[in-house]
Amino acid sequence: MKSILINTTEESYPVIVGNEAINELPSLLRSLSPSKVLIVTDTNVDQLYGNMLVDKVDKEWMTYKYVIKSGEAAKSFDMFYELHSYALKQELDRKSVIIAFGGGVVGDLTGFVAATYMRGVPFIQVPTTLLAHDSAVGGKVAINHPEGKNMIGAFYQPKVVVYDSNFLQSLPTNELRSGFAEVIKHSLIRSESLYQFLYSEIRHLEDITTDKLQRMILEGIQIKADVVSKDEKELGLRAILNFGHTLGHAVEAEAGYGKLSHGDSIAIGMLFATWLSNKTLNVTLPYYELKSWFKAIGFPTEVPYSQTTDQLINKMKKDKKTKSNQLTMILLEEIGVTTSVLFSEDELYSLLD
Ligand code: NAD
Ligand code: ZN
């Protein structure tokens, strides 16, 4: 079992990682002495592990479970409202603890409910996807608005993150690949040694053994923790986490949510940002090496042919990180070292064409 500390201005909290980390949950809950516990999970996770988690909690505390339909659509105003209504009906109070048990969707929605219910109640993240090594750490919680993803949300830190890697055994391949993209991102922006490890040891998804998984989760979280601790509210450094996401988000949105996974979309975005780095920064990153590796893993490596430059630029401009008519792109000076570069719309047109 390993513990990584996330430092924030208010209080620090640990991310506990390991096989069987879930066994730590009762003692962590005890330290919060909750009046009641509400577990929020989704249909898939509930089917696999719902009873197991309830068993761990309901012997000591009055426990409720709310199951949302799996999928991005749950990050909605309707579901946000439903959860608040349910919490009120069960008379949860400010000493109640809410547990987010699932992937990034459950984590983002539940975290935002916890941030707002009675002006904030303690919550615990129990992530079950590889992608959630990213989403469960850092305190960004949100729901979607028809005008854009994650548009309504807060910065709200959990009391603890309990990351049991055993849950990942049941992840479908496409979800494993999606999370792997974020691990690759963390390596590209911050750790050449993690990149070399991933590149040499994981040529195909089947190469991901339990040990390798453990290492990538730990190092990925460590990188995220480090960035978040230095820039909790996304005022500066944290922007480097957007590497691959400017184009990635646009491609994802343009495909229609759920059509192209987040990881597949940012794989395309990371390739573009790498290519753009070579083209504009006078550096020689191994773009072709990266591209053939991505292909072998199963990532798409091109923008879907149906998406036009116009559509993508318009979507990128909508991104909440956009300033006036310029777009900030996170590029690489070398593997593990980022820089941020402003591009005008015209420049991007010529580069994307
Ligand atoms: P997800 O929560 O939808 O999970 C993916 C799928 O896997 C779902 O169908 C889910 O039911 C299933 N699943 C989850 N755990 C499983 C398990 N152990 N075994 C089998 N199936 C399982 O998606 P995700 O990829 O985890 O997260 C994506 C979301 O995270 C997006 O909404 C994105 O905006 C958000 N996100 C947030 C942050 C942040 O900082 N808050 C960062 C990155 C992504
Ligand atoms: Zn991402």
Contact criterion met (CB below 8 Å) for 127 and 107: yes
For residue 129, give the nearest of 49, 189, 196 by alpha carbon.
49
What are the tens digits of pLDDT across the range 194-232? Answer: 999 999 999 999 999 999 999 999 999 999 999 998 887
> Strands, E, within 85-159: which ranges?
97-102, 123-127, 140-145, 148-155
Nearest ligand 1 atom to the CA of 168 is 18
Q: How does the average pLDDT of the chain come out, rounded?
A: 94
Would residue 145 show up in a list of annotated catalytic residues for this protein? Answer: no
pLDDT score for 232: 76
Paired tokens of 143:
């729901």
Distance CA 72, CA 97 (A): 24
Determine which residue's CA is closest to atom 21 belonging to ligand 1: 171
Q: Map out the domains of the chain with their CATH numbers.
A: 2-170 (3.40.50.1970), 173-206+219-352 (1.20.1090.10)
ipTM: 0.99
Per-residue pLDDT of 7-52, as tens digits, reads 988 889 999 999 999 999 999 999 999 999 999 999 999 999 999 9
Ligand 1 contacts CB of residue 105 (under 6 A): yes
Cβ(118)–Cβ(93) under 8 Å? yes
> Per residue in 293-342, pLDDT tens?
999 999 999 998 888 888 888 888 876 556 667 888 999 999 999 999 99
Instruction: Judge whether 262 counts as a catalytic residue.
Output: yes
At residue 250's C-alpha, the angle toward residues 353 and 219, to 5°, is 110
- CA distances, 194 to each of 24, 54, 215, 231 (Å): 28, 36, 9, 22
Residue 102 CA to residue 89 CA, distance in Å, equals: 23
Query: By three-state DSSP, how is residue 137 classified?
Result: coil
Which ligand 1 atom sits closest to the C-alpha of 137? 40
Task: Give the pLDDT confidence score for residue 258 in this predicted structure.
Answer: 75
Q: Has 242 been annotated as catalytic? A: yes
Q: Model confidence over 226-259: pLDDT tens digits?
A: 999 888 777 788 899 999 999 999 999 889 877 8
Query: Which amino acid is present at 149?
Result: K
